Structure 1
Amino acid sequence: MKAVIIEDVGRSGVKEIPELTLRPGYIKVKTVAVAINSTDFHHTAGAGPIGGILGCDFSGVVEEVDKDCKSSVKKGDKVYGACHCANSNNPLSGSFAEIVLVREGHLAKIPEHLSFEETATLGVGITSVGQSLYMTLKLPLPIEPTNHPFWILIYGGSGATGSLAIQFAKLSGLKVVTTASPNNFEFVKSLGADAVFDYHDPDCARNIRECTHNSLQYILDTISVESSFKICADSFPAQAEEGVELMLVTLLPADEFPRKDVNVQVVLAYTTFGEAFSKFGTDFPAIEEHYKFGVMFWKMAGELLAEGKFKPHPAIIMEGGLQGVPAGIAKVSHGTISAAKLVYRVAETPDSPSTKSNDDHELRGPVIHSW
């Protein structure tokens, strides 16, 4: 089968490899569409092992279900889900391949009103939203919304995780303030954001404090870089009220966060698979509680999507199938993709390797060396 693997540090390409055989606790899926995330860039740049299959997001058709799986999916079902990108402990675990193995509980059936391409964008976003808003911040679940709305800041609302986080936070009954570029203001408002501010504006944090009446207690920073940390830190009240804990969740290490009075938690979506792995120079143990939560949240999210309670992040359909993915990873690393995910139809992968120059595969952007 064809797969996009890490050929060397900073370089990926399509290779022919043996088709994967089913593992205990897994479901075998023939992919139809795949989508690119920032994590694919980080793994190509050095976090993943040479020879590892890249990719997390996918949609496809179930081919085989392990006999011990309790999942309701069966052969022939159309599904979408999440894989573990270039896992050092299981290098062939990624989604950018013609056949993928999916951990039980981390996929869902595609509703009739949605396509393979649309649902291919959901894997990482659903997992990250579940871990950040509900497992870590312990906000009211979207099926049990609060009757007493309070504010949450979703920093980076027009991104793939941010757009889902806005919708889930609204389902939970919260008031959402978010950040975006002005050209994406209407997009995030269409998702339910109550207020949006331009993160380029020097007064962004002050505007957020005024909007939330200096009462902000919860922030999800989906960007998680030094500039976003500064705005998030200044968006909280200068001093928390007695008995109130200020909480921030980030998706990347937050060693540079400028305030010590904020409870900062970093989530890593890969812990949801419930298996030990090594990444970014750190050994992560298997955490059964994370796995159980992930299974619960994926089931809930699948039901909510089927009911039309939220919608996937917009997809840009790219050419070339898997052959186009390395250039797409480079585009994502350049930071030029806004308010959409790049999606590739696997069936469009050429039979022969491309002879074109790889000049458009050059990666840019910060590289994560430690966690």
Structure 2
Amino acid sequence: MASKQQNRGLVKKGKNNAAVVNLPYPKLRDDYILVKTIAVALNPADWQDLEEQDLKPGSAPLLIGCDFSGIVEAIGAKVRKELKIGDRVMGCVHGTNVNNPEDGAFAQHITAKGDLTMLIPPNLTFTAAATLPSGLATAVLALYRHLALPMLPATVAGSPGPWILVYGGSSASGSIAIQFAKLSGLRVVTTCSPRNFDFVRGLGADAVFDYRDPDCTQQIRNLTSNTLTLVLDTIATPSTAAISTAAMSSTPRNGGIYCNLMGVSSPRDDVKAVFFLGYTGLGEPYTFSGEQWPVVPEDYELVKKVLALSEGLLREGRVRPHPAAVRGG
């Protein structure tokens, strides 16, 4: 029985204080599955959460980590996705979660929302699979919730779609966003270092520019004939916001949208800045920087729908994982 086995994981014990410790087996909630982890992936949120405020005295340590792949060990009674014990799965969880301290990914055995987990297709390794879930969920919410792209599959053919700028196209989130934007019928322009030009072109980017080129913004505006109104900035700093919004149309119809992952404001009054947290796609209330955030049912349903579609896209090779640098555990 799983309950007789040992469990160890990496937890946050305080600000900038993490340790590998013995852990009890996580409780299997009705809509969750129990997973034996095989691989995990690092995300910026992992170290950012570790640097956040200290824990309250007496608080339980928080299990760290968001992305995982592994093998199903048990299935909750209310899980609706067709899963069986022994299935290879991947998914994301809310690591370093003060509301549910056991919700992270960096442990030998974890729990994850059953209906949000994805079956790993035969053409993907556990390592490759672990790099995908958070990037997929982030791209789904950015593109289809906040930028209102046409839902998959694209149905309009024969005419070019509108332009979207994916700033930071060679990042994990950027590489996924490029592929889904193309599948939704858009034309994609992106930025990255020249050494990654071939990589993003291979993902489907229609054009790519060096973000360090002082003419980058004008080149993008010329390419898009001054029509660019949609931006996803996966790097999200004041300098990337300045480049992104400067490349947008000088007369955006219905207002341009600058969507970013770090809460950066728009330098332009006529461009709306949208910041979101991918945790809304997990279907649970959560705490971020001391503020309580409620469940967003429509985000959960959207992520669940597109992740299910993504299983087939990955199996068919129409979506590819980001290259991984593999480290020992």
Q: TM-score category by the smaller chain?
A: over 0.9
Figure out how many residues of one structure are paired with residues of the other and give that number.
Answer: 317
Partner amino acid, structure 2, of 1:246: G
> What pairs with 1:45-194 in structure 2 (closer than 5 Å)?
45-46=51-52, 49=55, 51-147=61-157, 148=159, 149-194=161-206
The 3-state SS of whatever aligns with 1:80 is strand
Deviation at 1:303, TM superposition (A): 2.1
- Bigger drift between 164-173 and 143-152 goes to 143-152
Contact 1:146 1:174 in 2 (8 A): no
The 3-state SS of whatever aligns with 1:208 is helix
Contact 2:228 2:252 in 1 (8 A): no
Deviation at 1:248, TM superposition (A): 1.6
> What pairs with 1:1-371 in structure 2 (closer than 5 Å)?
1-46=7-52, 49=55, 51-147=61-157, 148=159, 149-241=161-253, 244-255=254-265, 257-319=266-328, 321=329
Deviation at 1:8, TM superposition (A): 2.2
Pick closer, same or farther for the CA change 1:47–1:69 going to 2, 3 Å.
farther
Cα distance in 2 for partners of 1:12, 1:228 equals 31
Contact 2:98 2:287 in 1 (8 A): yes
Identity of aligned residues (%): 39
RMSD: 1.4
Deviation at 1:47, TM superposition (A): 5.8
Contact 2:31 2:115 in 1 (8 A): no
TM-score by length of 1: 0.83
Cα distance in 2 for partners of 1:302, 1:212 equals 32
Partner amino acid, structure 1, of 2:267: P
Cα distance in 2 for partners of 1:204, 1:10 equals 38
Contact 1:48 1:279 in 2 (8 A): no
Deviation at 1:157, TM superposition (A): 0.2
Gaps of 5+ in 1: 322-371
Cα distance in 1 for partners of 2:145, 2:82 equals 24
Cα distance in 1 for partners of 2:14, 2:256 equals 42
The 3-state SS of whatever aligns with 2:115 is coil
Partner amino acid, structure 2, of 1:203: D
Deviation at 1:44, TM superposition (A): 0.8
Cα distance in 2 for partners of 1:144, 1:199 equals 29
The 3-state SS of whatever aligns with 2:241 is helix
Cα distance in 2 for partners of 1:201, 1:13 equals 43
Deviation at 1:120, TM superposition (A): 0.5
Cα distance in 2 for partners of 1:224, 1:157 equals 12
CA displacement 1:257-302 (0-9 Å, x = unmatched):
2112112211210011111111113210111111111211111112
Gaps of 5+ in 2: 1-6
CA displacement 1:111-145 (0-9 Å, x = unmatched):
11110001110011010010000122110123134
Partner amino acid, structure 1, of 2:258: L
TM-score by length of 2: 0.93
- Bigger drift between 276-285 and 33-42 goes to 276-285
Find runs of 4+ consecutive structure 1 residues off by over 4 angstroms: 47-50
Pick closer, same or farther for the CA change 1:47–1:112 going to 2, 3 Å.
farther
Which residue of 1 is the match for residue 4 of structure 2? none
- Bigger drift between 29-38 and 266-275 goes to 266-275
Cα distance in 1 for partners of 2:105, 2:65 equals 4
